[in-house]
Amino acid sequence: MLIYAVKDYEELSRKAANIISAQIILKPASVLGLATGSTPVGTYRHLVEGYQKGDLDFSKVTSVNLDEYRGLSGDHDQSYRYFMNTNLFNHVNIRKDHTFVPNGLTEDGAEECADYDARIEALGGIDLQLLGIGGNGHIGFNEPSSVFTRGTHLVTLTQETRQANARFFASIDEVPTQAYTMGVGNIMAAKKVLLLASGENKAQALYDTVLGPVDPMVPASILQLHSDVIIVADEAALSLLNDKI
């Protein structure tokens, strides 16, 4: 694991955007695994600026997103499809038909999961997977569990995750109870992984991810077994790790 310690959220966002930009410049037809949540918002803002300055070309890029709430349409302003459109896709020259997010409205959950795995495989796998990390160590919506799940699957969200995401909804009752997520196997199969962590509420999860045992109760800890992981974390997120790395 390569850990970049940065001062704050702004520096984290610039560093992450630079790493993703390098990926796109070196391989214009990259398959990017993308993430939602508050952490990557600044990263996407910098990528949009890079495009607007003429430094970045997304015309050959394909994207596959980590997850989507079950039951929300892509038009719902809390769906992850909507998030991606408004934070990135609408502002760069990526082809919309080359952007993939699980379809939250598919009736047959098993079929949606199998199709999504087949999609990733047909694309030749993910070149760079961007990840945030939950305060409970989740990646995508792979919640703490007794096992790691390999492929795309349907999860029941923990109360902690629904509570954390309730800030985006009118009330916690409106936060969906289930979501589609890529599995840990999909993430581990990415050629490169870029994990971002900002803020003190991520410090314990980041500590456990980097120094704890590999344990499905801390899903991100499996990244210790990946050969090309970059972590960009700010001072607050690194506060428990500082003198140990």
Nearer to ligand PGA, 120 or 133 (CB): 133
Task: Verify whether residue 143 is a known catalytic residue.
Answer: yes
Active site residue 208: no
Q: Which window, 21-29, 37-45, 80-88, 94-102, contacts ligand PGA (CB under 6 A)?
A: 37-45
Tell me how far apart the alpha carbons of residues 106 and 70 are, in angstroms, rounded to a whole number. Answer: 8
Q: Applying CB under 6 A, does 37 fall inside the site for ligand PGA?
A: yes
98-157 residues in contact with ligand PGA (CB under 6 A) are: 132-134
Q: Does 38 bind ligand PGA (CB under 6 A)?
A: yes
Quote the least distance from Cβ 140 to ligand PGA, whole Å.
7
Residues in binding contact with ligand PGA, number by CB under 6 A: 6
**Cα gap 78→229, rounded to integer Å:** 29
Q: Would you count residue 33 as binding ligand PGA (CB under 6 A)? A: no
Q: At closest approach, how far in Å is the CB of 26 from ligand PGA?
A: 26
Residue (115 or 169) nearer to ligand PGA, CB: 169
Is 97 an active-site residue?
Answer: no
Tell me whether residue 136 is one of the annotated catalytic residues.
yes
Considering 68, 112, 127, 143, which one is annotated as catalytic? 143
Identity of the residue, 104 or 132, whose beta carbon is nearer to ligand PGA in the bound complex: 132
Give bridge partners of residue 6 from the DSSP assignment: 234
Query: Which residue number, 93 or 168, has a Cβ lying nearer to ligand PGA?
Result: 168
Residue nearest to ligand PGA (CB): 37
Catalytic residue set: 67, 136, 138, 143
Which spans of this chain sit near ligand PGA (rule: CB under 6 A)?
37-39, 132-134
